[in-house]
Amino acid sequence: MTLARRLTAALVTLVALVAAGLVVWRVLKPAEVLATASSGHPVAYPQAPGGTGQQAPGVTGKTAAAPLIVDGQIRVFAAKRQVRADAPVYAKTMYTPRWSFRRWPQQLNGVVAIGTTVVSRWSDGELVALDGHTGAIAWRVAGPAAGAYSGLRTGASTGWAPPGLFTAGTSVLVAGGGQVAAFEGGVRRWSVPACADGFTTAGGQYVCPAGAVDVSSGAAVPSWPAGPFTPLGCGVAHSSCSGFRDGAGQGWLATSSAPRRTPALDPPDATLAAGLPLTVTGPTVTSARWHWTDPAGGAVRVLGGAGNKIYLLTADRRLVTVDAATGAASTFVLAVGTEATDWTPGLSQSTAAYIAIERLDDPNPNSVHHYFTVETVIIAAT
């Protein structure tokens, strides 16, 4: 080969390498993609015959991903590098997103909601708050470094139990690097040394095994019981817990500025739902006001509560909605059509109008049979 040909070949190779490098750079360079909603707010309920605007209780649909229900109208889904939302909540399956926000190469570590604001936490520590209805960025701020995406296929643990991410009133609490910081409207209010695996209470405290701090100031709460603690009656993101058991196994209500000793929460099988202490013994759920027994005789599980509703799950997978004040109950089977009901409940979210439950088959998260079906999350109006 002549020198000219060698130079030409070398030049062609160099151009090809540069072109390939440009393609790789364009594909892999850090990037964000935000697509906002093009329509107005969705309707909370379909208009029912008779003009009540209230949906009848029953299964409304099922989805492949776990929805964080926001403002009773929006379903927010967590994926490895994206947070997105669809509507309405009662949709039979997942719809084309109303809005979406994607970051590369960062991974989504957690999502919580403060009212209608959706706050996403990313692996680089960035907190990005989005308007829940439109997807527009409301504020963003740098926070402590976070871990990678841990939500598996459904994103349930990212949206319903995000690591180191909590809510308290109008604040978002973020744990990392041995510190917990409180942000409100994108402004850091305080930062103190604290554990990363605590919980917030309905009374306004962030609780760690070593004690509690006030969520409005970060100041230590005096005379707090000794840990470690078992939180009770919590919402999503280990937040707004109505009570706890302390290190001695004593139960406390945590709905005010100081915890209140509550012996009804002492038994290991006692819990809280809709602010009401409950004890579960096989097929029977008992409160100080009423008791409910499953006629089928199987073991009953308390899924949670919201408003004046307490949600129970029977052994044959019926959802029982109990009025917290009267004990009056209604029930229906958690299945779509002729679906089987031999599933195990995973994580869930309870609201005053809906409940969403992750259905599992093999409890081993590494199993190919971990999830019950492809659309493994079932959603029901209550």
How many Å apart are CA 349 and CA 336, to the nearest integer? 19
pLDDT at 3: 55
pLDDT at 147: 93
CB atoms within 10 A of CB 147: 13
* Burial (0-12, 13-18, 19+ Cβ within 10 Å), 263: exposed
Mean pLDDT is lowest, of 22-31, 67-76, 121-130, for 22-31
* Domains of the chain, CATH where assigned: 31-38+57-163 (2.40.10.480), 164-266 (2.40.128)
* pLDDT tier, 38 (very low <50, low <70, confident <90, very high otherwise): confident
Q: What is the pLDDT of residues 82-98, one digit of tens each?
A: 999 999 999 999 999 99
- In the sheet where 108-114 sits, what is the strand order? 108-114, 117-122, 126-131, 137-142
Mean pLDDT is lowest, of 154-158, 177-181, 280-284, 363-367, for 363-367
pLDDT at 239: 98
pLDDT at 211: 96
* pLDDT tier, 2 (very low <50, low <70, confident <90, very high otherwise): low
* pLDDT tier, 42 (very low <50, low <70, confident <90, very high otherwise): confident
Residue 45 scores a pLDDT above 80: no
Average pLDDT, the chain: 92
